[in-house]
């Protein structure tokens, strides 16, 4: 029995090849690839496992509803208003503290921009704005876009287009 245990220990002692195996280190270099880098970019159009459904939601606009607008306002106030301001005019609290001013969301070029533009900006960032893809799920991105459209419509409306009740409310009359 002792001989068997001794043989097993000797066999196990020779099994440390994993520690001394030939391998490539993540940030190292190699002659295997033409560019000499170990880390290689994934092939074009590669999608992580489980992300196809998530990506599909980015291309499916939900129907407009009050709940969607309310969710959009909530998410806008959390993620967008620090820079864009509560009115979307680019006068958020971080801008008042010296950060670069983002564009006014009611500007003509953004009123004319397709909804997809806003989805792409939220997903990938733009200019000084970084990507919010890891922070804002696709459904909330659409809710934010719906709310931005509501903000845009609420600004710059000619007085003639308002109802009498709306005008009175603006003027502070009952």
Instruction: Delimit the domains of the chain by residue range.
Output: 53-157
- Superfamily of domain covering 53-157: Cytochrome c-like domain (1.10.760.10)
pLDDT of 65: 94
25 Cβ contact partners less than 8 Å away, ≥ 6 residues apart:
38
pLDDT of 129: 92
Q: What percent of the chain has pLDDT over 70?
A: 94
User: Could you report the per-residue pLDDT of 119-131, keeping only the tens digit for each?
Assistant: 999 999 999 899 9
Q: Is 117 exposed, middle or buried, given 0-12, 13-18 or 19+ CB atoms closer than 10 A?
A: middle
Say if residues 68 and 144 touch (Cβ distance below 8 Å): no
pLDDT of 115: 94
Positions of the chain with pLDDT under 70: 12-19, 50, 174
């Amino acid at each position: 029995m002792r001989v068997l245990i001794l043989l097993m220990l000797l066999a196990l002692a020779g099994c440390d090849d994993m520690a001394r195996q030939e391998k490539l280190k993540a940030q190292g270099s190699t002659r295997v690839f033409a560019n000499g880098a170990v880390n290689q970019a994934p092939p074009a159009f590669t999608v992580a496992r489980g992300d196809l459904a998530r990506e599909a939601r980015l291309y499916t606009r939900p129907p407009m509803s009050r709940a969607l607008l309310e969710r959009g306002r909530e998410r806008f106030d959390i993620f967008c208003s620090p820079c864009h301001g509560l009115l979307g005019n680019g006068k958020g609290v971080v801008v008042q503290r010296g950060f670069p001013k983002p564009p006014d969301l009611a500007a003509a070029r953004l009123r004319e921009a397709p909804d997809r533009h806003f989805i792409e900006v939220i997903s990938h960032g733009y200019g000084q704005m970084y990507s919010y893809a890891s922070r804002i799920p696709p459904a909330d991105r659409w809710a934010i876009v719906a709310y931005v459209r509501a903000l845009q419509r609420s600004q710059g409306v000619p007085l003639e287009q308002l109802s009498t009740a709306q005008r009175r409310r603006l003027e502070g009359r009952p």
